[in-house]
Structure formats: structure tokens, C-alpha cells
Structure 1
Amino acid sequence: MIPKLPKTLLYLLIALFAINMAQSYFTELIFDEAYYWYYAQNMAWGYFDHPPMVALMIKLSSFFFNDELGVRFVSCLLSVATFLILWQLIDHPKKERYGVQFFVLVFSMTLINAYGFFTLPDTPFLFFTALFLLVYKKFINKPSVLLALGLGIVMAALMYSKYHAVLVIIFTLLSNMKLVFNKYAWLSVVVALICYTPHFLWLYENEFVSIKYHLYERPNRAYEFGDFTLGYFVNLVALFGLTFPWIYKSLFKTRAKDQFTKALLYLTYGVLVFFFVSSFNRRIQTQWIIVISIPMAIMAFNYLLENENAKKWIYRMGMANIAILLFLRVGLIYEPLFPIVYETHGNSKWVSEIKSQIGDMSVVFENSYRNAPMYAFYSGSETYSLNNIMYRQNQYSIDNSESKIQHKKILYVSKYTDNGDISFQWADGTKSYGNFIDNFESFRKLRSYVTEKDIKIKEDKELTLKVFNPYEMNIPLEKIKLGIAYLNDYRQVMETLPLLTTQRGEKTVFIKAKDTTRFIFKLPKSKMEDPGFFKITISENGLYMGINGDNIKLD
């Protein structure tokens, strides 16, 4: 049910929808959007980096529009819906007279503004966080079976949007521990788990690849106060722009006068503390903390309704924020307004430049889950990201895209070559090359496993390597070379070496289809003083070493 709105606010929301639709139409995709568009070409219950909600949004958008609007239409709808839910979450008796101030407050929040049209996992995350708080508010006032069902479905939708949603659910529970003894609350948990079961099954079938990557495989680097912790506080400012002093003051001034306000406080402080602690381990990205925008919008609006000084300054600074944001949004379309080349500039141009030289030929991009889907979106051609040991795994590592370009003539594009069969310019003006391969063949799905545990770098003992071939064909050993990569304690590849092996058991000249071949090897001596991890890699047909195994800790 759409809440009753002041006329001015209604007109502003209609204008917001129109602006976001126009922005979506005229703005080229950013790389992450192209990547999620690629998700949507093969709908599944999960993807390498994220749950599937963002792919579902794009699939639904494509039923109504083509091109960029076919990626962003649902985002435009969810943006306005988020404003409507936030308005409904505010109970203050004065709110009807301050619809304009409400709009300025929320629209001036930088990432809420941006995600009004960009289609990223945070777009549904913001919407479902607001919806979760609305259902939760009704639930704590008068729990019922119907509200428990609704709460469970919304919690599942939150988790289908982004894994960070677990923080929203946990901190809300911590604000109201009595829920542990509430039968309706337990019903909502059961409903959420049932709804989320397809994603659990997908994770199981894919060896929990998403969880393993985010928790154990993702590279990091040594702690830097300026970039990690200080950078976290910079992100807190960037989240709200010029209104940040008054918005954070509203947080400090808000008291837990009821159970719902207590939930808002727990959610906000919980996320802030969680990522503050995390900042001592890794660099915190601004969008990771975006969820606090929802509870903060509610608390800040309630605060400004009671404080004339805050009302005045949030409106003034909010309008300044909006002016800056609108200028930048025009710059997303019209490149000369930007001091730098941004992701929305010139991608269709470099795609057209390549396509004009090769026609509908498939293109393999070395180490680029960004360029591969961008080329596919604007060209309509098959693409593949060939990921090697110096890069990272992504959706191309686990889907069937590799099979679509096997034994075809393809263009191989690498930023590491200084000559080739064709040349072109990227959006930033740098020149790159592509080389033709007449019969492309890769085996990036070969998996390597080391059976021993507690391996010490200085021990000269034999280790067992198992190589599993998931393909339907036998792979001749002469086509592959085994290697090893040594990583530092931050999981950064520092050294690669060939790996000398002998076969264990029955000797064979190929790795049988759907079978495992065992090898014996010793760790080659590393130039590193104290490597933290190693990884077994496989090179095929002269291609650079692939990402074929997990990081293995060295003692």
C-alpha cells in the first residue's frame, strides 16, 4: 500500500523517477553493471561474487527495455520505493509539512543518489533493508503469523541481495533479545532459511566458492593507517557529503525511546563498529557501510523536525550536495565535465573499434572480468575472461563460458603485449593489442589438490598432488605444464616456478576425463625468505599459469 504523501513530495518523487530513467538511458554501463548483466544471461541461484538478486533485477528489466535501460529499469523503481518506505517509517506528527526537507535529506546522500539508477547489489540491499525495518516495526508492535511470514521472506530477500545483510539481521536481533523466546520470530527464521535453501544448495554444489574466496582466498596487503583506518573515516564522510556533521550529530542525540529506535541505533552502531574493527585488517570500501544510510535517514529526519538549526543546515548543505551530485551525474554522460575518464565514458567506442576489425569473432580477454562482459554487452559477441595466477577468480572461472569459445578462431586481448594483429585504444586513450589464435584451447577448470597438511617450506619431503579433470575428454599431459606459485602472508603472488613431478601409480600419457591423476613432487626452493602460502598452477598450450588450486598455508 502506497503511503499518503504531501503533494510536493509526490511531485518530487515523480521527477526523481523521470531523472533516473533519463540518466539510465543516456549513461553507458559501468564495469560492475556489465559484469552483473553477464550474470543475468545465465540465471542461477548464485554467482561467484554475489547472491543472485542483482541478476534477477537485470533479467526483469530486460523484459521491458533494451540496452542500458534493460539493465537499470528495476533500479529506478526500487529507488522511488525506498523513499516511500522511509517516509512510512517516520511517525513524527510534523512530517507532513516537511516533505521537501525529507526529499533533500535522502536524495543528498551520495550513494543513495547513485544507486537510484546504477544496478549494483547495494541497490536491492538498500530497498530490502528499508522494507525489513518496516515489516519488523509492525512485527514488534503486534506479532502475527502473517507478519512472521513476511519478515522471513524479506530476510531471505536481504540475503539474496548481499551477504552483508547478515549484519542487518544480527544487529536487529541483538537489539531485542526477547525475540529468542518469540514463537513468531522463530517462524520467520524458518521461513527465511527455507527461502534461502536454493542458494545454500548452490553454494554446496560449487564447493562454497563464494565463501572461500571472500574469507580465505582474497588477496590483502599490509596494514596502512592512512588507507585502511583513516580511509574508513573518510568513507563515513563521503557517505553523506556536506550534511555529515548534522547527520552524525542526529545519531549521537538519538535515544532508544522504543524498541524500533533501539533497533535503528544497534544497526547503525553495530555496522560502524564492525567495519572500524575490520579496518585494521583491510581497506574498507564505501559501499560496504552504505546500509547505515537507511536507519540514519530516519533518525536524521526525526532530529531535524525537532531542531531548527539542524533543519536549516541539513537543507542548505543537502541542496549543495544535490547540486554537486547532479553536476557529476551530467558528467557521467558528457565526458568533458569530468576531470578524469570515468567508467561510463568511451566503452562503446573501444568495443566498436575492435568489432569493426574482427566482426562477430569471439574475444578472449586476459585477466579481465570487467572488459569481457563490457565487450559482450555492446558487441553482442561471445567473450571469455582467461584468468591466470596473477589475477583472481570470478564468474568466468565457474560457469560454462569457456566451452563456448573452444577450438574457435578468437582474438586474444592482453594489456601485457606491446604488439599484435590489431590495435585499438581504451577509453583512457592508452593503446592495446589483440592477437588472433586460430584454434583456441584452454583447460582452466582443471583442479589441483595437495593431500598433506601442515606443510613446512624447509622440509624436503615428497608431497602428493591430485589433478582432477572435470571435462568430458581426456587431456594429453603434453599439453599441460604444472607450476607452483609462492604467496606472501597477504595472499599476494610473489614468485612462480615450474614444478617437477612424477606420476604416482599407473603411468598414463593423459589425464582421463572425469578422473583424477596423482603426482609426487617436492616444494622447489623459493627466493622468498618466508613464503606464507603456495598454490599449484597449470599452464596449457603455452598460456600463462591458471588458478587451479586453493591457497595452501606454509608453516
Structure 2
Amino acid sequence: MGQKFPRLFLILLGLFFILNILQAAFTELLFDEAYYWYYAQQLAWGYFDHPPMVALMVRLGEIAFEGELGVRLVSCFMGAGTFLLLWCLIDYPKKRQYVIHFFLLLFSMALVNAYGFFTLPDTPLLFFTALFLYLYKQFTEKRGVALAIGLGLVMAALVYSKYHGVLIILFVFASNWRLIKDALAWVAVAVSLLCFAPHLFWLAQNDFITINYHLFERPNHAYNFSEFTLGYLLNLVLVFGLLFPWAYQALFKSRSNGDMLIKALQYLSYGFILFFFLSSFTKRVQTQWIVVICIPIAVLTFKHLLTNQNTAKWVFRMGVISTLILMYARVWLVNDRLLPIYFETHGNKNWVGQLKSEINGIPAVFQNSYRRASMYAFYSGSASFSLNTTEKRQNQFTIDDSESRIQGKKIAYIAKNVEGHDFEYSKCDGTVIQGKFIPSFRSYRRLWCTVPDTPLTKEHLKNLEIALYNPYQEDIFRKDLDLYVAYLNKYKEPIELKKMERCNWQNESPYVKAEDTCLIKCAIPPPEDKNVHYIRLGISEHGLKAGINSKTLKLEQ
């Protein structure tokens, strides 16, 4: 990187890395981390919720270590790498006198701190954002084919980390419109598209399931100013913690004066803030969606404190306080006795061990809980499955082969409430979970219903023609299946579930033939609630709760 690092910088970076390694090894997994570990058990070019970068990170880490450290090893390297790259983005020689300020500034940002060891999609997003900005800086100063190719590779890595990476690329390029006429910039774009092509192909093979879920299938609810917009504004404060006044002061006072990097940092910061501010009028913006602004604003804040002693003084003071608080919080992540607050890194080994002992290690099927299914699989080493119903959403268990691995086996069926339950166990937060044994489990959650008559009206529901496709390599006995309709409000939240009592199968066979489609004419019972805007078709097999067996279908008013 063409510069000599101060000895103090290397010492603090090493301590930060060691701290994260220890934290990674001794902190139990988050539920989302367990889910991404589950991704990594079958590497693919895409997954239901996210692109594949997070799964690749887990798989690489598990080459070296097992357990929690294996899941998080690459994150620890990326966390240290992010600090290193941000230091390299700042050219002022005077920065060598402010090494401690630099570390206090970054360490005080709770999410930047956490993503130094947690393995979540935002971890590589932060790292590749810093790397992208570093290469962009080099590109604007030196140019060259090698830099263009490097930019293209990192642009692809950004989007492979999280789809938000597209926004990062767009806002940075928007800050320098001359790149439209730059042939090397188009080389970078071509390289990125070439590298991203396998994921696009995977999306096409899977009916763009990830895009459809995030843009069209994801439930929402009515606009609430406190939860949506005010909540978003509070998140803008929370991402910087006690340092937020000085962080935003640095952003507002920054001037590019022809510096293309500073201009890119400004566009990236304001672009994300404005984009998600507008989004807050339609949905709740999660805090991690805006964590990317920590990268450009951290650079701007550090540059500002180099020329403003008052800012440097307050960043140091607030940084020390924040560091002490966050260090205590880090210990609490491992030891739940430090605070009377339950967190998801507490007690997972205990409930998994209790459950595994209760069910004697047979496969566990969790109703509507891909998170608990993943956590159980990680800590027990036993097979698990998430059986999704119309009440919740689909997930990775919907599209992989996990269902086939437990077909016909004795399983433990686990839910919050199970009629005639055989056993129960308690989670750390006091929630009692019940379960029952099923001697021979059969589920057909991949049966798929399509409706040719779209758009649908309430008149269509009186005699709805449904095409039922059986993707399995076995015939399915019709009498084992019950058809349901779930009614959803305009925010795609389930409000009613009704069984279809009058169904006329168009063929005489008692089976739904393997890899074949049969037609059914159904009189769908009308909803009791008038606030119905969508329907979703579901199938119950062997008395299980109805699954999600169709797309969400709009019901014309």
C-alpha cells in the first residue's frame, strides 16, 4: 500500500485482531450466524435471502477451525482489514500523531465494532466498501488496466456480499460523471458483470426468488411515524453512538475542493441517508441497512479532527467512554450474568443440549423457525428442518434438499404450542417450547400451485382453477392433502386461513403423479374480514399445518 505504518498502529491493530479472535471463539452464535453456517453446508451461487459471500466466508473459516471460531475467522480478518484500509485512505502525514484517536473513533461505532467478529452479510460489505474506496482513490490518481480490473472484482464482491452494494457503486460513480466517458471505467463494469454472472444465472434458475422475496413477497405493515421515520432518524444516531455530533459535524463541514475521494465519500454518505430516509415512509429501515455510512463518515471525521483540536479532544473523551461501555458489552455477550438482559448469544448450547437429550438425537423439525433449526443443527450436529406455514415466510429450507433428508424418518416436531405434546423444553428467556414425535414424517412443501386466471377477482374465487405441480419423484396420494387459502391484508400480513372444502380434481387418478401437473376446480370460501387484498394457497399434508404453496396473488377489489 506504499506507506509505512506507525508501530503504535500495528500494535493496536494486532490487539484488535486478537480481541476479535477471542470474542469469536468464546461467544455463542447469533441466530443469523447459525443460519449462514447452514448456508455454508452446501455452497451455491445464491441463497434464498442473500448472495453467497457470507456462506463462502464460513466455509473458508471452517477449513482452519471448527465451532464458533471457524464460522467467524474470516470476519476477524476482514474487521482488521477494514481498519487498515481506512487508515490508508487518509493521506495527511499528521495522522501518525493521532493513532489512538483513529482506533477510538472506529471502535466506538458499535456495529463496526461488532462486525469485526460477527459473521453477517454486512461484515464483508464494510470490508469491500473500504477496499472499493481505496482502489477508487488509486484509480482517480493513477488509472491503469490493473486498477480497473481490481475495481471490477471488488464491485462484484460488494454485490456478492449484499445487494446494497449496488447503491455503493452507484453513489460513488455518481460523484464522478466523467467516468461515463472513461473506457477503463467500463472495463471495471464489464469485469464486475462477468464475475457476477453466475449469481444472475442462479437467480434465473430459481425464478429470481431472492429478488421477489425482498421486493414483492416480504410482509410489511401500516406506516407508523414513530416506528418507521423517527426510528430511522434514531438509527442515524445509534450507528455512531456517543460520537454522533462530531461525526455529522464532520460530514456537514466537509468540502471536496476538487478531491475526488472526498466527493465520493460525501455522495456515498448523503446518498445512503437520503435513500433510506425516503424508504422509511414505506417500511421500517433496519439499523444494519445504513451501517455503510460509517465507512465514509469515519474517514471524514478523522480528517476533520486532524485540523480541529476541539473535535480531536471530544472524540478522544467520548471514544474512551464508548470503548469502556462496548468492552463491558463484549464481555456480557459471553457472560449473561453481567446484565439482567437476555441476548441471543446466551444459552443456545444449553437448550440445544437439553432438546437433543430429550429427543435422543433424532431429526428435529421446527415449525416456522429457520433460526432455531439452524442453531440446533450447529450445536447438536443432528439433522434439522424448518417446516414453514402460511403464518410465516419462506427461507433457505424451502429451496434446498433438507426436506428429502428426513422423509420417512422418525422426527421430533417442535413448535410453541403442540396439541398432545410428548415433551417440552425451556429457552433461556423462559419461553416454553413443546414437541411431539412423528414415527414416519412426510411433507410435500414443494408442491406448487399456479392460477391461470390473473388478475384475480372475488368472482374468480367461486370457481377457481388451480394447476397443482408435483416436483417429487413419487406419486402423492390425494387423500393425504388438504387445500387451504390464506387471506392477506394490503401489507401482505396473514389475517385468515380457510380450508377449501369443495374441490373437484380434473383427473380420476387417486394420485398426483410424479413430476406432473393436475388441475383442480375449487370453490374458495369467502373471507370474513373485508380488508383482504391478497391470497396465498397452501397445502396441508398428513394433518400438518398448511404450507406456502403458491406466490402471493393480488385480489382485485
* Same fold (TM > 0.5): yes
Letter in 1 for 2:476: I
Tell me, yes or no, if the aligned pair for 1:457 and 1:523 is still in contact at 8 Å. Answer: no
Q: How far has the Cα of 1:44 moved from its partner?
A: 0.5
Q: Aligned residue for 2:92?
A: 92
**In 1, Cα distance between equivalents of 2:4 and 2:519:** 69
1:355-405 per-residue CA deviation (whole Å, 9 max, x = no partner) reads 122222110011101100111111100000001000110000000000011
1:181-239 per-residue CA deviation (whole Å, 9 max, x = no partner) reads 11111111111011001100111111111000000000000011001100001111110
**In 1, Cα distance between equivalents of 2:3 and 2:521:** 69
Q: Aligned residue for 2:451?
A: 450
Q: Aligned residue for 2:538?
A: 537
**In 2, Cα distance between equivalents of 1:461 and 1:514:** 28
**RMSD (CA atoms):** 1.3
Letter in 2 for 1:77: F
Further displaced range: 500-509 or 20-29: 500-509
Q: Aligned residue for 2:19?
A: 19
**In 1, Cα distance between equivalents of 2:503 and 2:366:** 33
1:129 is aligned to 2:129: yes
Tell me, yes or no, if the aligned pair for 1:364 and 1:385 is still in contact at 8 Å. Answer: yes
Length-normalised TM-score, structure 1: 0.98
Q: How far has the Cα of 1:518 moved from its partner?
A: 1.1
**In 2, Cα distance between equivalents of 1:262 and 1:389:** 47
- Helix, strand or coil for the counterpart of 2:391? coil
**In 1, Cα distance between equivalents of 2:473 and 2:288:** 41
**In 1, Cα distance between equivalents of 2:149 and 2:433:** 54
Q: Aligned residue for 1:497?
A: 498
1:49-77 per-residue CA deviation (whole Å, 9 max, x = no partner) reads 00000000000100111111010111111
1:515 is aligned to 2:516: yes
**In 1, Cα distance between equivalents of 2:490 and 2:277:** 22
Q: Aligned residue for 1:55?
A: 55
Q: How far has the Cα of 1:306 moved from its partner?
A: 0.8
Structure 2: any 5+ residue segments left out of the alignment? none
**In 2, Cα distance between equivalents of 1:502 and 1:533:** 21
Further displaced range: 451-460 or 17-26: 451-460
Letter in 1 for 2:303: N
Identity of aligned residues (%): 51
**In 1, Cα distance between equivalents of 2:2 and 2:63:** 24
Q: How far has the Cα of 1:341 moved from its partner?
A: 1.0
Q: How far has the Cα of 1:430 moved from its partner?
A: 2.4
Tell me, yes or no, if the aligned pair for 1:538 and 1:547 is still in contact at 8 Å. Answer: yes
**In 1, Cα distance between equivalents of 2:370 and 2:516:** 29
Q: Aligned residue for 1:200?
A: 200
- Helix, strand or coil for the counterpart of 1:372? helix
**In 1, Cα distance between equivalents of 2:529 and 2:466:** 22
Q: What are the within-5 Å matches in structure 2 for residues 282-297 of structure 1?
A: 282-297=283-298
Q: Aligned residue for 1:429?
A: 430
Q: How far has the Cα of 1:417 moved from its partner?
A: 2.6
Structure 1: any 5+ residue segments left out of the alignment? none
**In 1, Cα distance between equivalents of 2:505 and 2:361:** 45
Letter in 2 for 1:37: W
**In 1, Cα distance between equivalents of 2:198 and 2:517:** 29
Letter in 1 for 2:335: Y
Q: How far has the Cα of 1:304 moved from its partner?
A: 0.6
Q: How far has the Cα of 1:319 moved from its partner?
A: 1.2
Q: How far has the Cα of 1:324 moved from its partner?
A: 0.8
1:386 is aligned to 2:387: yes
Length-normalised TM-score, structure 2: 0.98
Q: Aligned residue for 2:10?
A: 10
1:11-62 per-residue CA deviation (whole Å, 9 max, x = no partner) reads 1111101111111111110100000000001110100000000000000100
Q: Aligned residue for 1:154?
A: 154
Tell me, yes or no, if the aligned pair for 1:501 and 1:519 is still in contact at 8 Å. Answer: no
Across the two proteins, how many residue pairs are aligned to each other? 555
Tell me, yes or no, if the aligned pair for 1:451 and 1:463 is still in contact at 8 Å. Answer: no
**In 2, Cα distance between equivalents of 1:460 and 1:326:** 59
Further displaced range: 264-273 or 90-99: 90-99
Tell me, yes or no, if the aligned pair for 2:506 and 2:521 is still in contact at 8 Å. Answer: no
Tell me, yes or no, if the aligned pair for 2:203 and 2:209 is still in contact at 8 Å. Answer: yes
- Helix, strand or coil for the counterpart of 1:353? helix
